[in-house]
Amino acid sequence: MYKRGDEKIVVGYTSGVYDLFHIGHLNLLKNAKGLCDKLIVGVTSDELVAYKNKKAVIPHQERMEIVRNIKHVDSVVPQNDMDKFKMWQRIKFDVMFVGDDWFESEKWQALDEQFEEVGVKIIYFPYTKGTSSTMINETLKNLRS
């Protein structure tokens, strides 16, 4: 538990690849920080990105440095495992922020239940329509062909 004097502070957590940083990333971080006192952000390692058969354009250490320097972010940690509960065991956040593209998916319904047992609330933010790293990559690919 984190405290400021006698007052408990609310610790939030979110994670992502944060490759080709865009307005959707910024919106998520800004909105998350508005709902917690301390925001910790997990940045997905290059090895973990490969699980989607993808490759990050920006190397992991550089992505961590970019996110670390966003004014809404208090701390950055590497995300080397997809298991969000393992991360909770490590840093004990109170609330987790996720894009609503995961809302009511089978995986996240199970996580909702698991986190509810330990008092962690999951907040789903609207996915930023019209922009994503995948779309940026596709646009760049089309421009180069």
**Residue in 54, 86, 92, 107 annotated catalytic:** 54
Task: Map tokens 């090895």 to a residue.
Answer: 47
Would residue 71 show up in a list of annotated catalytic residues for this protein? no
Count the Cβ atoms, other than its own, within 10 Å of residue 136: 15
CA–CA separation, 23 vs 132, rounded Å? 9
**Residue in 52, 86, 92, 107 annotated catalytic:** 52
Task: Map tokens 């922020």 to a residue.
Answer: 97
Would residue 52 show up in a list of annotated catalytic residues for this protein? yes
Mind giving me the DSSP string for 74-141?
Answer: SEEEEE--S-HHHHHHHH--SEEEEEGGGTT-HHHHHHHHHHHHTT-EEEEEPP-TT--HHHHHHHHH
Among all residues, which ones are annotated catalytic? Answer: 52, 54
